[in-house]
Amino acid sequence: VDFDELTKIGSMMGSGGMIVMDERNCMVDVAKYFTNFLVSESCGKCVPCREGVRRMRDILVDIADGKGREGDVELLETMSKAIIDGALCALGNSAPNPVLSTIRHFRDEYKAHIEDKRCPAGVCKALITYSVDAEKCTGCMVCSKVCPTGAASGERKKVHAIDAALCTKCGACRESCKFDAIIVR
């Protein structure tokens, strides 16, 4: 891996680090994370960087929270161009890159978040639901014992259920289930 090869595919090495991700990483969440970092790093001297990156972050938060709207992806692309063209420094010129890169390579994930109200990676809490796989559940009661809100419940040796209205999506049930009976969608 070298600078020239990364540049050819529209990437950069930055500080010499590389992050490897797989399908368990949500690209909307990744873009939100880096954009949030850039909001705190902006010096604030130019409006495109200061306000544009903050607004991009707000849109990404909405998308991850299940409040994404039709046209948000196109708005992010338009804002990215305005920030790149109007920023006064290298940070501002490259600030939209994480968003543009995730849109370019993972547009389907944005579509899933906005149109289907679903996070394919199961990362964005507002867009996931927990349920019990009836074929795998043995009724051991471990999930109901560890659930802090009582959302996971059932009788011993009978299939349990998760009450979506009570579930805080903390993951305690999934982590404790030895039978892999907790489904996250």
Delimiting residues of CATH 1.20.1440.230 domain(s) in the chain = 3-114
CB burial of 14-31 (b: ≥16 within 10 Å; e: otherwise) equals: eeeeeeeeeeeebbbbbb
Give the model confidence (pLDDT) of 60-79 as tens digits.
999 999 999 999 999 999 99
> Whose CA is closest to 179, among 145, 139, 147, 148?
139
In this prediction, residue 16 carries a pLDDT of 64
Q: Could you tell me whether strands 152-153 and 161-162 are parallel, antiparallel, or unpaired per DSSP bridges? A: antiparallel
pLDDT tops 70 at residue 146: yes
Domain 128-184 has CATH 3.10.50.40: no
Delimiting residues of CATH 3.30.70.20 domain(s) in the chain = 128-184
In this prediction, residue 2 carries a pLDDT of 72
pLDDT tops 80 at residue 150: yes
Is the overall model pTM greater than 0.85, yes or no?
Answer: no
Give the model confidence (pLDDT) of 94-143 as tens digits.
999 999 999 999 999 999 999 999 999 999 999 999 999 999 999 999 99
Q: Which residue has the tokens 């349990």?
A: 160
Taking residues 1-18, report their average pLDDT: 70
Q: Which residue has the tokens 């992010």?
A: 76
Give the model confidence (pLDDT) of 24-68 as tens digits.
999 999 999 999 999 999 999 999 999 999 999 999 999 999 999
Domain 3-114 has CATH 1.20.1440.230: yes
